[in-house]
A and B are shown apart, each in its own frame.
Chain A
């Protein structure tokens, strides 16, 4: 029972991190129709920049904030490279693949190949039903829930959020009503960058990251986003939780060696399920 509680709570926390990445995919895809393969790179930069800032003596809190802001700027830069001008969708996707490996090269050049980490929220572990839970998990929970609530508010209540949704559902009509769709696309990339950066900042204290961790983060984030057909932020959170829990339970009860294979097999099952659903709805895009 103790082990079960531990896997459950850590699974939820890791799932929320995946959900942040998945929401980045969703926001960018909704507005620009680009599947941003470099989504994991934001997390790498977010985590590794926080590491360097903390080592340079910048206080905790400020370091994290600066790293997330910098990730948002990297997102903006990636957006400019990917969508400004007339770029066909296939080319956009391949450009983001290029940006992903470029990020790996830069991260390797700056931070090397050893896994890096920093201590997150200090303090004694929580004991919940006999399971020891690090305080950082609490931070993950609070930070990501705050972000989800904040985004829900922005998208439902503010003009900006509604304009963003308008771009997602009908770019042509949005443009006719005076919304700059390209600019919205760039903002979506910034948002994706910030969400990815936050995911990296939160996950690095839990599991050390290396320059090449972006591919596995990106693929899990994408898998979670697929649960909502790449367009629903709410279902992306559900997807993230599914993957976080599956990962922890497989690693805990079976073997950590099977963790990746199971997660990827789950992705393929999800893709199958989604394609079946699409066929039933008669929609082929």
Chain B
């Protein structure tokens, strides 16, 4: 999955995209800079979540909570006189530590307890804010955040933040790439194929999963911290459960477990949501239409991609590209093959039962846990 994708996307293409992204803010107007920053922040969150889903085989429905905790950490600390740079750097640390604490029990449970546990964290987070109004500003939120300053440089306009986001995004992507190639990364990939197989060969499954989860939460935390300073105002409305689901959708659109897919997924979904909001918001239309539209479109995109293009958009495009070059099993071919195996009723049953690898890991990058 990731291994093959990495080899197929040349390094110069990634460097080219990165440099282009660095130059784009110079020509963007203010509203477009906001979208640029939104895409960058989402990319940072999605990079971590994609690693978690692709390598640890777990879903977090609380990334918006870690994002929010990062934002509140930075906001509360900086409003109480902590230097802004320190307040920003503490955001990922707080989010990461919280993930460690809840990850220890949750990651040990079967049946994707992490998804529900993190959703619970998100709902608790949203329920606690009105109760701690003295610190968090309650449902009104916190405003008048000080400007982020590093040394003598103050971040004032969208362009400054666009560059900051670019730097953090590149660091996040490089870290994620290194993690996916390191020993823990290889271990996690082995684990995504077969938990029992990986642990039998000495992969410390639980510890790697936990680190992966903490890393994803820390990335969400730093993105949240930057968001707080960028907007200068935060309230619980900015971190709904739907945002957590949006991050999951971005991962799926870009391709689960692919580092470069994080950016593609974040960019596409952010732009789609902008378009949907613009389409649905009109005085002549019913007020709930934007929500219906975005929920419906998100759901259909999610289901369609998982059922039809399980490797995400990049994976799907690469597959089409490669089809012209060599005779590779097409999406349909492999699906038919799998269906045939399914109806004959032996292959998948044996494989599911012995907990061995999914028959075609390169076709379905979304790898499940072994069924035992």
Which chain A residues have a beta carbon within 8 Å of chain B's beta carbons? 29, 33, 35, 37, 81, 85-95, 97-102, 104-106, 108-109, 112-113, 170-172, 175, 181-182, 215-216, 219, 222-223, 226, 229-230, 257-258, 260-261, 264-265, 267-268, 271-272, 274-276, 278-279, 284-285
Contacts and interface: CB of A to CB of B under 8 A. Distances in A.
Contacts of B293: 105
6 contacts: A35-B111, A86-B338, A94-B59, A181-B349, A219-B123, A257-B131
B108 A278 contact: yes
A219 to B, nearest CB: 6
A98 B302 contact: yes
B367 A93 contact: no
Contacts of A87: 306-307
Contacts of A278: 108-110
Contact of A261 (B104, B127, B349): B127
Given A81-B303, A102-B296, A172 B353 contact: yes
B195 interface: yes
Contacts of A105: 291-293, 295-296, 299
Interface of B is mostly: helix
Contact of A223 (B53, B116, B295, B303): B116
Contacts of B256: 90
A90 B292 contact: no
B226 interface: no
A265 B371 CA distance: 29
A271 B106 contact: yes
A242 B359 CA distance: 42
B271 interface: no
B102 A268 contact: yes
Given A171-B371, A219-B119, 8 more contacts: A87-B306, A88-B367, A101-B295, A172-B353, A264-B124, A268-B124, A275-B105, A278-B109
Given A91-B368, A104-B295, A105-B295, A267 B109 contact: no
Contacts of B296: 102, 105-106, 109
B342 A113 contact: no
Looking at B116, B288, B367, B371, which has the most chain A CB atoms within 10 Å of its CB?
B116
B252 interface: yes
B26 to A, nearest CB: 38
B348 interface: yes
Contacts of A276: 105
Interface string B235-256: 0000001100100100010001
Nearest 9 A/B pairs, CB to CB: A89-B368, A88-B368, A102-B299, A98-B302, A105-B295, A172-B353, A285-B110, A105-B296, A86-B338
Nearest to A81: B303
Given A88-B366, A90-B366, A95-B306, A271 B59 contact: no
Given A108-B288, A230-B111, A97 B245 contact: yes
Interface residues of B, number: 71
A266 to B, nearest CB: 10
B364 A97 contact: no
Contact of A97 (B248, B335, B349): B248
A226 B109 CA distance: 9
Contacts of B224: none
Interface in B111-167: 111-113, 115-117, 119-121, 123-124, 127-128, 130-131
Q: Pick the most buried of B53, B242, B292, B293: most chain A CB atoms within 10 A of its CB.
A: B292
A129 B147 CA distance: 62
Contacts of B111: 29, 33, 35, 230
Nearest to A25: B111
Contacts of B10: none
A182 B341 CA distance: 13
Contacts of B68: none
B299 A93 contact: no
Nearest to A110: B292
B353 A95 contact: no
A93 B116 CA distance: 11
A271 B306 contact: no
Contacts of B171: none
B366 A271 contact: no
A276 B296 CA distance: 39
Interface in B306-342: 306-307, 310, 335, 338-339, 341-342
Contacts of A181: 349
Given A35-B112, A86-B364, A219-B116, A102 B348 contact: no
B358 interface: yes
Contact of B349 (A37, A175, A226, A230): A175
B278 interface: no
Contacts of A86: 335, 338-339, 341-342, 348, 358-359, 364
Contacts of A95: 302-303, 306-307
B107 to A, nearest CB: 8
B105 A272 contact: yes
A100 B124 CA distance: 20
